[in-house]
Chain A
Amino acid sequence: MTDSKYFTTTKKGEIFELKAELNSDKKEKKKEAVKKVIASMTVGKDVSALFPDVVNCMQTDNLELKKLVYLYLMNYAKSQPDMAIMAVNTFVKDCEDSNPLIRALAVRTMGCIRVDKITEYLCEPLRKCLKDEDPYVRKTAAVCVAKLHDINAQLVVANAVAAISEIMDASPNAASVLEMNSGTINKLLTALNECTEWGQVFILDSISNYTPKDEREAQSICERVTPRLAHANAAVVLSAVKVVMKLMEMLDTGGDYVTSLVKKLAPPLVTLLSAEPEIQYVALRNINLIVQKRSEILKNEMKVFFVKYNDPIYVKLEKLDIMIRLTSQSNIAQVLAELKEYATEVDVDFVRKSVRAIGRCAIKVEPAAERCVSTLLDLIQTKVNYVVQEAIVVIKDIFRKYPNKYESIIATLMLSDENTQVQLQLLTAIVKLFLKRPTDTQELVQQVLSLSTQDSDNPDLRDRGYIYWRLLSTDPAAAKEVVLAEKPLISEETDLIEPTLLDELICHISSLASVYHKPPNAFVEGRGGLRKVLPPKSEQAEGLVEELGAQEPTAAPPQPTVIPGADSLIGDLLDMDMGSGPSMMQQQMYPAQPAAPTPAGGSGGMDIFGEGLDNLLGGGSTGGDMLGGLGDIFGMPQTQSYVPPQEVWLPASKGKGLEITGTFARKNNQINMELTFTNKAMQPMSGFAVQFNKNSFGLMPAQVAIKNNIDVFYMSTHVPLHVLFMEDGEMDKKIFLATWKDIPSPNEVQYTINNVPHNADTVSSKLRNNNVFTIAKRNVEGQDMLYQSLKLTNGIWILAELKIQPSNPSFVLSLKARAVDVYEAVKQVYENILHN
């Protein structure tokens, strides 16, 4: 006899028939009817109309029937809250049944019914069940406490905590609710030996949330957790790995104990790769993290990551990633042979990734670069189009990493019918050249542009020619950004996880976060939760990482500013490479080296495009001594002129632990960029260098590149316009008047600035501090009229009229200038200064 027959009744009037059967006197018939109801529910039919009839069947001494009715209740109670109350009495009665199975069933089901009125009645039976003589009932009741807490937190906490400590020995689940201290940890470790495999995972996960008070405690916990690495359940193993990886942070890195731990971790991780494919996948994602944190653990285990023909694709791709991470000079030959094999498989994604992997090997292991290149050339011979594409892309990276070394193979790459490609490249190259050396290539570029746009038959070439032409004639700054876009540096390790994130993920080994490689708050609903951090290293390094070990919410902890020794920083700043083409203007942050200020205005060569590509960021004369200057970089200087609050320009997550905040200010007749560097990584940083990719007019956004021992980072910054206001921006009254009249009235624009808490004089002096000069003041019909002028570093004059009514905090600002596109920015500056 099977249950499938219950699914077959699909005729009309079914509900009505069921109702009759449910109210039958015959027990068997009743039970059959309930089964039919559950079957209908299972296939998604709405059988909620039968609620009262089903609930009537609840009082039965047949356990199977009771379970079915409970199941029905869990499903429909929410839609019928009033009727659900009918069930309460039976629940309460069942909680006192002589059979522990029924007591547990009742309390478990009650907890699953998310109806407020039922919850009220749940407390009393639950309290009894928590003290039940039967451990099975207590275990079920313990979980029910959590359910109740989820439904109604207030109700529970007080009562439950007391009850939980009573049942702690019986149920490991409950222990996690309590605060951790050495005592509870000890109890948990003892309980480890005695609970089910799932219980062991819960306990290990709780332990991983605890930060021991010192190195000794960390070691003793490790000693008691490592036996779990021999558990048959993969989840127990991974949770044990998590605890050990976390506590290892606190142990002396060079010590024997850590060495022995490292040895112990590799075999269980390798064994996980013989588990079910889904578990292999989780293991591989975690191994990816582990080798980034401690590469020594698996450095000799390359072969276990070799791909097998029947591995699922998600396992293959992950194995490939780890193979590359573990590649070194000693195993490169083997790895290359494998990758070449993979590149001839049929799965396109896997093949592409394998070819890319060969390129990464070339970049990572320099002595093997030549072999990698020849392997790639072999693959190109296969003429499989996606293999060829991918191979050419990675060869390009190899060229960039090792310039002037392998270019000879270009001949092999050339294909006869790619004339257009060559022409396109030629066109781009000439435009690039022009942007770098405008003076001597102007003729050339004009010639090439006209050739490509007028004489060519190829639409692609014509299109590209027009695009360049228009770009260059309307906005040379944009042209530069587009055409000369900085290529990212070819780095040896790609896809490295930023250190702070890596540390956080290590604390989440075996969880979803560790598979996504994202912090939990990036995908877990709404709750902030505690951000997990690795415990601080033992004493000697405490100063630097104290903050990281603190178990505090990350809302606003004071960030330690870790600056690598001041001497070395100055050294690096002074050592900076100054010799680069005019387009890449390199400038020191501060103190500035004496440099000839570039004269404002066009410097020739660019005239056909109207706008000068001149230097706006001209370095002025040096001010202050070096150390004072250094102080200024890292502190917030007190100046009279308006300094916008620092903004985060480079978040730590993008800067591999380096966070940069900054702002711009005008001091001593020059523009200053004020930067604060914060080291949020677990390692010292050194070798800082800065480079500005200046754009022409306006500097917004200015591109800044920061380099340190870890990587090069790019950030774009918004330069507020007022730092460009010149000190000699005070116009002669007569000239002012003449200019005002001279500028046509369509160029005049009015803005309203609301809520200014100052009078005319304060406004005047505030603006004066920022090089906005008041030339005249008049009082017209009770209103103050201020006439002001300012001059930008590129010589553009802006005239302003500010209308102030004594009782009205809204000022009216009228601007007049020949270059109308700066108005928005000027108005923004007025707002900032007046509201400051």
Chain B
Amino acid sequence: MATFILASALYLLDMKGKVLICRNYRGDIDMSVIDKFMPLVMDNEDDGLASPIIMHGDIAFIYIKYNNLYLVTTTKKNANVALVFSFLHKLVQIFLEYFKELEEESIRDNFVLIYELLDEVMDFGFPQTTDSKILQEYITVDGHKLEIAPRPPMAVTNAVSWRNDGLKYRKNEVFLDVIESVNLLVSATGSVLRSEIVGAIKMRVYLSGMPELRLGLNDKVLFETTGRGKSKSVDLEDVKFHQCVRLSRFENDRTISFVPPDGEFELMSYRLNTHVKPLIWVESVIERHAHSRVEYMIKAKSQFKRRSTANNVEIVIPVPLDADSPKFKTTVGSCKYAPEQSAVIWTIKSFPGGKEYMMRAHFSLPSVENEDQEGRPPISIKFEIPYFTVSGIQVRYLKIIEKSGYQALPWVRYITQNGDYQLRTS
């Protein structure tokens, strides 16, 4: 059953590979093996073999990088790597929720607390409770005195491990945010290679007691099985739920039923392919005159209904590293050269549907050509369209039942935004 074992030890390293803090969970690997880690990372990068898993003899280093830190685990077993990576990312999340930011300083500032957390989230290489809300119940930032002795909350071992008993709110409210991110990849010739929506339903729950919630969506599969095939519905290709949702229930009759955690969390995410026109389309004409100048002509079009408006649109156009003396001309919005990104950022605060705007940019190029070959980064776009979902998903109802019988108000908001939205340039 070796695949259960996650890690022999866990290290937090700085960029140079110096150990900031470490925890030995199983004692089967010499802790000093970590000295080999940084040289191996460097070697692999030099050889073009960069990988988040490095084998060193019979030891595997499995690591992620966050800000200026490495989170590294070691193992000698055939560990479940998907589990290791999920765990490491979860750990980052926990630290963030505890310390707001995670970098060298915050680790030094909180090392006692980190030791405590490391002791609690994993035991003998098995991950334990990693829900930071629950952890915060008994591991707190300001040390404990035994007089007000904290006790492990019931949730740690309950079937409902994500919610504590006995919560009380004067006003019982639930906020639902339906957020759709559009991932788009367009080839240099202007054909759409990939277009998908990744949606998420995020909740903020302020409810007393142990409420039982049921969420109704215009889910195509549900509509078809219940004979409402003609109503407007969406075909969710893949749905992922927070652990509070009863998965077998969903599998059986597509009912989304759950006891929610308290506060903010992501209830579900879904993915579907779209065949609609890209919401914001950009055409670019780039004229390069080697050794002298480069000119850009950018045309942006909004391809959604007139009654919607995209806010805070940012079109990021990459320019050569050695470009200088920027000049811009545009009818709408403002342009800014961001040399640190080697890009022009064209910002349009408000971009109504069915419009088309133009922008021209001019850069000088040095007469001596840069020797290194440059990549051709794509144009990327950021935007937000409130009160609108591309998929047409709708929350039909949110039923809240608690044994005390209180009335609670659900609020719903919709927003569509860019995801990984890239248009390649030629």
**Chain A residues near B (Cβ < 8 Å):** 2-4, 6-7, 35, 38-39, 42, 44, 61-64, 67-68, 71, 74-75, 99-101, 104-105, 108, 111-112, 114, 134-136, 138-140, 143-144, 146-147, 150, 170, 173, 176-177, 193-198, 201-202, 205-206, 209, 224, 226-228, 230-235, 237-239, 267-268, 270-271, 274, 276-279, 281-283, 303-304, 306, 308-310, 312-314, 334, 337-338, 341, 344-349, 384, 508, 510-516, 520, 523-525, 529
Contacts and interface: CB of A to CB of B under 8 A. Distances in A.
B58 A523 contact: yes
A414 B183 CA distance: 45
A7 B185 contact: no
Given A112-B27, A267-B237, A271-B238, A309 B251 contact: no
Contact of A341 (B19, B115, B127, B188): B188
Contact of B144 (A4, A64, A270): A64
A136 B193 contact: no
A529 to B, nearest CB: 7
Most buried by A among B4, B151, B185, B266: B4
Contacts of B20: 42
Nearest to A507: B3
B53 A346 contact: no
B112 A232 contact: no
B145 A306 contact: no
Contact of A278 (B52, B150, B266): B52
A209 B85 CA distance: 22
Contact of A198 (B85, B130, B151, B374): B130
Contacts of A136: 152, 156-157
A510 B185 contact: no
A520 B152 contact: no
Interface in B67-106: 75-83, 85-89, 105
Contacts of A101: 138, 149-152
B159 interface: yes
Given A196-B129, A270-B238, A525 B76 contact: yes
Interface string B137-175: 010000111100111100011110100000000000000
A520 B2 contact: yes
Nearest to B372: A346
B78 A282 contact: no
B60 interface: yes
B110 interface: yes
Given A198-B127, A232-B269, A314 B82 contact: no
Given A282-B81, A511-B78, A226 B251 contact: yes
B89 A276 contact: yes
A268 B124 CA distance: 30
Contacts of B42: none
Contacts of B82: 234-235, 238-239, 279, 282-283, 510
B374 A512 contact: no
B308 interface: no
Given A143-B123, A274-B271, A306-B194, A239 B80 contact: yes
19 contacts: A42-B21, A44-B19, A63-B146, A64-B143, A71-B115, A111-B124, A135-B156, A195-B161, A196-B129, A198-B87, A235-B85, A271-B238, A309-B375, A344-B376, A349-B48, A512-B77, A520-B78, A523-B58, A524-B58
Contacts of A62: 143-146
Nearest to B160: A194
B325 interface: no
B79 to A, nearest CB: 6
A62 B373 CA distance: 62
B364 to A, nearest CB: 23
A contact patch SS: helix
Pick the most buried of B86, B373, B378: most chain A CB atoms within 10 A of its CB: B86
Contacts of B19: 42, 44
A282 B51 CA distance: 10
Nearest to B4: A202
B408 to A, nearest CB: 24
B85 A278 contact: yes
Nearest to A224: B248
Given A170-B157, A232-B243, A306-B193, A227 B251 contact: yes
User: Lowest 10 A-B CB distances belong to which pairs?
Assistant: A267-B238, A135-B157, A2-B109, A227-B247, A520-B78, A136-B152, A349-B48, A64-B143, A227-B251, A235-B83
B293 interface: no
A209 B1 contact: yes
A346 B373 contact: yes
A136 B123 CA distance: 13
Interface string B301-327: 000000000000000000000000000
Nearest to B158: A135
Contacts of A176: 1, 4
A186 B19 CA distance: 45
Given A136-B152, A512-B77, A524-B58, 7 more contacts: A44-B19, A147-B124, A197-B130, A231-B241, A268-B238, A338-B193, A510-B83
Given A205-B1, A232-B240, A512 B111 contact: no
B338 interface: no
B190 interface: no
Interface in B1-26: 1-4, 19-22, 24-26
A512 B241 contact: no
B119 A71 contact: yes
A150 B129 CA distance: 23
Q: Which of A267, A306, A312: most chain B CB closer than 10 A?
A: A267
